[in-house]
Amino acid sequence: MLSTMNPMVSIFMCTFKIENRSGETVYVTPIGTHIGIKGYRSVLDQYAVKMPPIPVFKQGNFILGPNESKIIDYNCDDIRLSEILVRTDGGAYKQISSQNHKTNVIPPLRDLSKATNAVLYAASGSEFKWIYWSIIFSGLLPLSLYIWYRRLRKAAADRRCPRRSSTVGS
């Protein structure tokens, strides 16, 4: 959450592209392997804007139609793109192994390997950043209500007592 206020996060931004050339509609979730923690995987922390770094609300399960692509910006400070989880319309889970390619192409689905348990586990329950955004909105709500209240009071006061123009020399 503090990454929104930390401009240093922008230094560690990496970008890659996912292209769907499978000929089918698929749902993709980028998975990364953490550096220093052998084999620990999680969904990549993605950002809508690099500066200031604003996280996206939805972290995975992105819909890609045939011949569509998606560009993803993520914090690559201690995690590297390792796999892309691909879910078909039929509910089958496949994966693409990535070695930090700038462009990752989804080939015909019959050519993909079945998703491993480690990749499925990493992708489970991490589609949305509920806690992050609920803290942001709950912090902005009191400020918004205060501003709204002040404007209403000012408008009511202006209606009760219209301001008089000062006339010089009367």
Torsion, Cα of 91, 96, 97, 103 (10° steps): -140
pLDDT of residue 162: 62
- For the chain, give the longest Cα–Cα distance: 91
**26-56 tens-digit pLDDT:** 999 998 888 876 778 888 887 777 777 677 7
**DSSP class per residue in the chain:** -GGGG-GGGGGGEEEEEEEE-SSS-EEEEEEEEESSSTT-EEE--EEEETTTTEE-SB-S-EEE-TT-EEEEEEE-SSEEEEEEEEEETT--EEEEE-SS-SEEEE--GGGSEEPPHHHHHHHTT-SB-HHHHHHHHHHHHHHHHHHHHHHHHHHHHHHHSPPPPP-TT-
Given the structure tokens 């993520």, which residue do they identify? 74
pLDDT of residue 67: 93
pLDDT of residue 1: 43
| Sequence spans of domains, the chain | 2-128, 130-160
Distance from C-alpha of 95 to C-alpha of 28, rounded to nearest angstrom: 9
pLDDT of residue 27: 93
Predicted TM-score (pTM) of this structure: 0.68
pLDDT of residue 7: 63
pLDDT of residue 40: 83
In which residue ranges of the chain is pLDDT below 70? 1-11, 37, 53, 99-100, 125-138, 140, 161-170
The answer as to CATH 3.30.300 being correct for domain 2-128 is: no
**12-23 tens-digit pLDDT:** 788 889 999 999
